[in-house]
Amino acid sequence: MHLAYPAVLAALLFCTGLYGVLARRNAILVLMSVELMLNAVNLNLVAFDVWLRDTLHSGQALTLFTIAIAAAEIGIGLAIVLAVYRNRGSSDIDRLRDTAETDDAETAGSTTNAEATS
């Protein structure tokens, strides 16, 4: 097997995931794009392991470790997204960022108002 085929496929997967992370507004779609990027890395690890004919199969072992980390990441990420959706009613990333900035501005404004009145 030529190394170019899985390397090109992995590059396409990674670029698709990167586009999804940069262009999407929904937090769940961003998490799915991160998973695409991790799968591209896993594909590269296995392809180079086969190409180098490593007797320890370290690329495959590292791929299993990466899959375990990705599973934990998606579990925690979905839990955070669900908690934010319950509290705010939306999982739109731009709206969450704007809300966080206004909360900081309101908190800073209320402390300066409290200092001015005393």
For position 96, what pLDDT does the model report? 77
- Per-residue confidence (pLDDT) for residue 39, from 0 to 100: 97
Q: What pLDDT does 118 receive?
A: 56
In the block, which residue shows the tokens 């997967």? 13
Close Cβ partners of 27 (under 8 Å, ≥ 6 residues apart): 77, 81, 84, 91, 92, 93, 96
- What structural domains and CATH numbers belong to the chain? 4-117 (1.10.287.3510)
Rounded to two decimals, what is the model's pTM?
A: 0.78
The pLDDT score that the predictor gives to residue 41 is 96
Question: In the chain, which residues have pLDDT < 50?
Answer: none
